[in-house]
Amino acid sequence: GELYVSERLDREKMCGKAPTCSVSFEALVHDPLNIFHVEVAIQDVNDNAPYFLQDNFHLEINEFTSPGTRFSVGAAEDADVGSNSLQGYELETNMYFAVEVKESEDGSKFAELVLRRALDRETEQSLRLVLTALDGGDPPRSGTAQLYIDVTDANDNPPVFAHDLYRVSLREDARLGLIVLNVSATDADSGINARITYAFGKMSAKVLQKFVVNSENGTIVLQEALDFEETRGYTLLVEARDGGGLVAHCKVEVEVLDVNDNAPEITMLSVSSPMLEDALIGTVVALVNVNDLDSGDNSQVRCELAGEAPLSLNNAAAAPVLRVLARDADAGANGRVSYWLEGGSAGTAPPPVSVESRSGALYAQRSFDYEQCREFTVAIRAQDGGVPSRSSTATVRIFVLDRNDNAPRVLWPTAAEAGAETPPFEVVPRSAEVGYLVAKVVAVDADAGRNAWLSYELLQAPEPALFRLGLHSGEVRTARAVSERDAAKQRLVALVKDHGQPALSATATLHVVLAESLQEALPELSERPPPVDSPAELQFYLVLALALLSALFLLSLL
């Protein structure tokens, strides 16, 4: 009467998802005859793992999606029932998403993906996570699916220029069509949001006529001729706009370089004509103003007189110093301002500058000399044309800059005086060691600053290796020990040079006698070359010889 399982039982095939599963049948028993009703309950075992209907899930989530947003990824299936059925989900550890289990009305459990933190496509363009479904068996069974999450771009990044400020220099004769500069911007977004176009910002029409920018690559091209005298520089405002409408800006400073394309213009400010024939030398005949519209070295002019005339030109005398400006709020003659030099009286020296009455321009009346006058002040009176006139004064302080117009002057050694028997000399013992101080060349320069900085060097020496001259000290010292082969008398020529542009120089001659004492040096100095007859004596002897020859000739004739 024992019942046996005749084949493997499969609850899931027999009962499906029914919460209970049983098999009912009747057993017939003979002797005595009896019928028994038998019901066998089929209990579930955890022989099925959860599984997802698809192995891969693909999601596209915009990077602007707010944290807390939920995304359904469906439910996993598990053929088992009860505690062996699907119980929950787990998500691979990450910093953006978490998974929550939701239960529907029919009791099935599905997974929801919850965004915990804002996405950033520029940091993470895509995510690959593993979603695991777990049942409640012991041990539990699981099934997995791959989550592929693409972070779609939002236009959250504006373009960025490589530099906020670009600088470029152009000659004013630059050819049209020249590429001035290439500005470049990048955008961390992708797709249409990263497509950048370039354009000029709001600028004057004058600037927009000069330059054009390529909208695709940011190349700035010159399209109209430049003129340094008109405009010395331009500031271009360039903007880069991405496909989403975000804009970045940068500046381009264009410096226009001067080219010597303007000839000097000569203006006669005043002419004294006619001139008296007994006018003193140095009388000012005319005041000439020369102006060159160029800049720097291109504006430096040199004036000279052509033709033969008892006149000379001193450029500095007519050089403009500055321009003073006064304003008058009145109108007409009452507001017309003229300028005058204040002060001065008979018998006093004329002022070093003059003022042009209408323009207020100050001009040098004569050459300035830094060594005589380093600064001076003049008072300028501005007077209107009203009746009575009103005036105001201003003081102009002028500083004279030094120019390298003085050569160094040697104080020692002094030059030998005419007729002197012996020039100044120094005695150096033959036992002198290396570095022995022989003498010091002393010189001064009347200029100032770099123009008065002096340096020294040896120009001439019989024994080049015997002496050295300090570059800045002017000290003459022995460079080696004195030998018996060295000549007793040494003549050194030193060059003293300043640091002006151009440099000026002077020379000094130093006589050195190699002797142990002054008594030993005197004989060396007294050895003089045999005297040479003077030209007058030679001429006397020549005339005397001719006279004797003439006398002999007459005597022979007689």
Q: What is the pLDDT of residue 11?
A: 86
The predicted model gives 319-339 an average pLDDT of 85
- The CATH H-level (homologous superfamily) assignment of domain 409-525 is Cadherins (2.60.40.60)
What is the C-alpha separation between 462 and 475, in angstroms, rounded? Answer: 18
Short-list 159, 223, 164, CA closest to 197? 159
Task: Please tell me the predicted confidence (pLDDT) of residue 31.
Answer: 84
- Which pairs count as long-range contacts for 500-506, CB under 8 Å and 24+ apart, including other chains? 500/404, 500/447, 500/450, 500/451, 501/404, 502/404, 503/404, 504/404, 504/406, 504/407, 504/408, 505/407, 505/408, 506/407, 506/408, 506/409, 506/410, 506/443
Q: What is the pLDDT of residue 222?
A: 95
Query: The domain 316-401: what is its CATH number?
Result: 2.60.40.60
pLDDT of residue 296: 67
Report the number of secondary-structure helices (H) and strands (E) in the chain. 4, 35
Residues 372-394: what's their mean pLDDT?
89
Question: Which residue, among 457, 430, 415, 416, has the nearest Cα to 513 in the 3D structure?
Answer: 430
Structure tokens given for 212: 């054009």
Residue 210 CA to residue 373 CA, distance in Å, equals: 49
Encoded amino acid at 296, one letter: G
Confidence of residue 404 (pLDDT cuts 50, 70, 90): confident
Average pLDDT over residues 274-295: 78
pLDDT tens, position by position, 17-45: 788 888 888 888 888 888 889 999 988 88
pLDDT band at 396 (very low <50, low <70, confident <90, very high): very high
Alpha-carbon span 29 to 19, nearest angstrom:
32
Averaging pLDDT over each range in 160-164, 230-234, 272-276, which range is the top one?
160-164
Question: Comparing 316-401 with 409-525, is the CATH topology the same?
Answer: yes
Summarised one tens digit per residue, pLDDT across range 70-87 is: 888 878 888 888 888 888
Q: What percent of the chain has pLDDT over 70?
A: 91
Least confident of 188-202, 297-311, 317-331: 297-311
Instruction: Decide: residue 97, CB within 10 A, 0-12 exposed, 13-18 middle, 19+ buried.
Output: buried
Q: What are the distances in angstroms from CA 250 to CA 47, 199, 206, 302?
A: 69, 11, 19, 44
**Residue pair 472/479 in contact by the 8 Å Cβ criterion:** no
Question: Which of helix, strand or coil describes residue 250?
Answer: strand
In the chain, what are the domain boundaries?
160-257, 262-313, 316-401, 409-525
Q: Give the Cα separation of 412 and 409 in Å (integer).
A: 9
Average pLDDT over every residue of 431-441: 91
Count the alpha carbons within 13 Å of 195 in the hemisphere toward its beta carbon. Answer: 6
pLDDT at residue 313 greater than cutoff 70: no
Chain mean position to CA 537: 76
Question: What whole-number distance in Å separates Cα of residue 378 and Cα of residue 398?
Answer: 8
pLDDT band (50, 70, 90) for residue 535: low
- Is residue 551 scored above 60 in pLDDT? yes
More confident residue, 135 or 538: 135
Is 0.75 topped by the overall pTM? no
Report the C-alpha gap between 440 and 492 in whole angstroms: 12
Nearest to 461 by CA among 492, 496, 428: 492
Q: Looking at the predicted structure, is the pLDDT value of residue 297 above 60? A: yes
How far out from the chain centre does Cα 83 lie? 77
Return the CATH number of the domain spanning residue range 160-257.
2.60.40.60
To which residue do tokens 């830094």 refer? Answer: 370
Between 510 and 520, name the one with better pLDDT.
510
pLDDT for residue 522: 66
